[in-house]
Amino acid sequence: MLADALAVAGLSFSEEDQKAMLKAVNRNLTSYEELRKLEIPNDVAPPFYFSSLVPGMKVNRTREPLHFSTPAVKRPANLEDAAFWPVLNLAQLLKTRQVTSAELTDMYLARLHRYNEKLNCVVTFLDELARLQARQADQEIAAGRYRGRLHGIPWGAKDIIAVKGYKTTWGSDAFKDQVLDDDASVVEMLREAGAVLLAKLTTGELAQGDRWFGGQTKSPWNLSEGSSGSSAGPASATAAGLVAFGIGSETSGSGRAAGWRPSCLIPAVDYIQSQRARMMMMMKLAEATAAADVYLVPANSGGGPAAGRGAAPPTDSGTAGRVCCQANRHLRQGA
């Protein structure tokens, strides 16, 4: 077998070298077989630790309280004008009961359905689940059980993130009917925080690029171009104001490939399946960021100055209003 493989590859080695190769191959094969006998549950995280501290460096390890700013917000006459607002502002609308989670959910679902034909950013709509979670959030908020800044906020998940009972396709035709019996840790934690899941958003096939079994996901800045990927769906949907925030992933360019507008966004990190050890960072980002949501924004084809999702509500004269108008204009004109 080794000789045949070498011949196909056009390689030539001495008999002694081939014997050394076979010895190493057989030794490794035994190790692989033993390794595959181990059953490791999906919710067991790999060893993952990184510290930027070097020997001799001293830091203050005292736990300090986390303080959030409280923006002054007023519900717009047309709720869809808030589609591009940052999570902090939407959360304040909910907390002050100027809007219900059900209203926000219906508004974002309507935008998802309306613009998905152009953007191709949704694999699976979760309307029924979303409305159920929104009703629960409204009941809890009305009863004074406010869970925090993500309570009642609608979001979308990249389709490599498992949601129990619903398809997780990895963007591949080979797995388009796959249903996993697990929730990713980020799904569990966002559910515990009261967030409302609207849809499974596209990923490039097997987390590569922006092409999946349903076609190519488009950039809302320029519909003739793809949104890049593999976090194609969260990037496109969040930039177009179809979800309040999106969760993507980054391993080797899945977020960075499209380029980022650094003034007002934070790319999501790698949160696959049930690796709980790495989920806390995502929650901290989602809760603590005022000027940016935790999301991915395609920047490969233009957009407004300091673009991305809004640093100010569209009612202001700042960037967010311009970005909101420009992204919507591209969608309406099909440019």
- 2 within 8 A of 21, measured Cβ to Cβ: yes
Tell me the DSSP string of 290-321: SS--B-----TT--STT-SS-SS-TTSSSHHH
Catalytic residue among 227, 230, 236, 301: 230
Among 158, 228, 236, 301, which one carries the catalytic annotation?
Answer: 158
DSSP summary character for residue 258? G
Q: Confirm whether 158 is a catalytic residue.
A: yes
Q: What CA–CA distance (Å, rounded) separates 151 from 97?
A: 12
User: Can you read off the two tokens belonging to residue 246?
Assistant: 């999106």
* Residue 230: active-site member: yes
Mark whether 19 is an active-site residue: no
Backbone angles phi, psi at 186, to 5 degrees: -65, -30
Tokens (6 digits) for 69: 């700013």
CA separation for the pair 8, 13 (Å, rounded): 13
What is the bridge-based pairing of β-strands 218-219 and 154-158? Answer: unpaired
Distance separating alpha carbons of residues 164 and 266, to the nearest angstrom = 27
Strands 196-201 and 154-158: parallel
8 Å CB contact between 74 and 315: yes
321, two tokens: 């209003």
**Active-site option among 228, 254, 274, 301:** 254
Nearest Cα residue to 321 out of 84, 90, 72? 84
- Would you please indicate which residues are annotated as catalytic (active-site) residues? 158, 230, 254
